[in-house]
Structure 1
């Protein structure tokens, strides 16, 4: 555990007793997780276990039936998603959802927010330094990009809101191994800079290197939690819950 600048780590996101679902079908049964400032945390589990529903509930994209979501000490459950984003949560959604008929540069500035409290805010220049390929493709439309370039753009677009917490739902899903490496390298840079990150992905090896803490979800609740050393040393949990 490394200390955040300015003293001990403070709790950034706290999810407690989250209950939610679709119609009459309950999906989340008391979900909980915590992310401290500067931490990288994963949400792991097989498909259909409630990971994306948890993210959507945090982001105000899906109603919370019971429980609490706190960000920087303030309750944010059931706020509209744009208000959650304004509080400082940046989402890279499953399926990327970039604007297909805007250029790379237009995508990046479309949702940009200048949060003056940040010492080194994210700008086009910094995004292009993180992902040089986006600079090369700056004039191309979103629908002219490869899947990997679209994911880089989705990450860049989230960073341009200058968030305190970056959430990635399926960070490298469907991408080539080479592009995956670029995404993991970029996330490692963000982590070194003190960005808090919550990531969903199925590629365990890079997550064990990247993350401070892991939560495994099964049927809408946490069934395992611990650091990378503990998860690496628990083949039974990996096999049972992740098939890894």
Structure 2
């Protein structure tokens, strides 16, 4: 589904990525792991055209997308749940959802309300009136309503209370059961190894390890050395 080869990018004269390569198959859940500042979000922004690559290749379902404008990449079927949620505070929950909804596809308003009943209860609340956890539910639902073939979650549960984190992981489990392809950035290694198929560890703009959940669990020194846990 997604193939990234020798990707390089950065900001101005400052290079951040040094030959990143990764892939995601249809129906896979894949993670990017690493400490803050190692290039994970820059990788996501380069995949989405927010940051332009300086070298390398990106293809999505066999189509080259490196250098395309972000709206074109989104229309091809990549949805983002951004770090910090970035919902529109002066729109209601329902207005936030329908503003960017796009079909055809399985995700319609009633389906995201079924996934997150709390959003239905608060559908007339303004975005600014929601808790952090509710805003994250809204950000995930907003991305799903674009009916993405690949969903990217940048810092999926950062800063959320434990009960809300469980709700987010439940949602991701359900998406996996539906066959949704997902790329996740998060720091909760225990939860990620339970749900993800494969992992990439990023350090200083390079992939320094990749493998399955079983392989990651078998080498706890990787987490201690590279993930700060």
Q: What's the TM-score bracket when you normalise by the shorter of the two chains?
A: over 0.9
2:175 to 187, 190, 210: 190
Question: What's 1:136 paired with?
Answer: 121
Residue 220 in structure 1 maps to residue 205 in structure 2: yes
Corresponding residue to 1:148 among 133, 145, 148: 133
Measured in 1, the distance between the counterparts of 2:74 and 2:173 equals 22
2:53 match: secondary structure: coil
**Would you say 1:27 and 2:16 are equivalent positions?**
yes
Runs of 4+ in 1 over 6 A off after TM superposition: none
Unaligned runs of 5+ in 2: none
CA deviation vs aligned residue, 1:158-205 (integer Å, no higher than 9, x gap): 000000000000000000000000000000000000000000000111
**2-side partners of 1:78 and 1:52: how far apart?**
17
* Cα distance between partner residues in 2 of 1:133 and 1:235: 37
Q: Deviations over 1:131-154 (max 9, x none)?
A: 000000000010000000000000
Following the alignment from structure 1 to structure 2, what is the Cα–Cα distance between the partners of residues 142 and 96? Answer: 11
Residues matched between the structures, number: 229
Match of 1:232 among 213, 217, 223: 217
1:23 Cα shift?
Answer: 1.3
1:73 and 2:82 matched: no
Counterpart pick for 1:103 among 92, 103, 119: 92
Cα deviation, residue 222, structure 1: 0.3
Q: CA deviation at 1:36?
A: 0.2
Taking the TM superposition and a 5 Å limit, the aligned residue runs for 1:53-72 are 53-72=42-61
Tell me by how many angstroms 1:92 deviates.
0.2
Alpha-carbon distance in structure 1 between the residues aligned to 2:7 and 2:162: 35
- Mind listing any 5+ residue stretches in structure 1 that lack a counterpart? 1-11
Aligned to 1:165: 150
Deviation at 1:22, TM superposition (A): 1.1
Partners in 2 of 1:14 and 1:129 — Cα distance?
33
Deviation at 1:13, TM superposition (A): 0.5
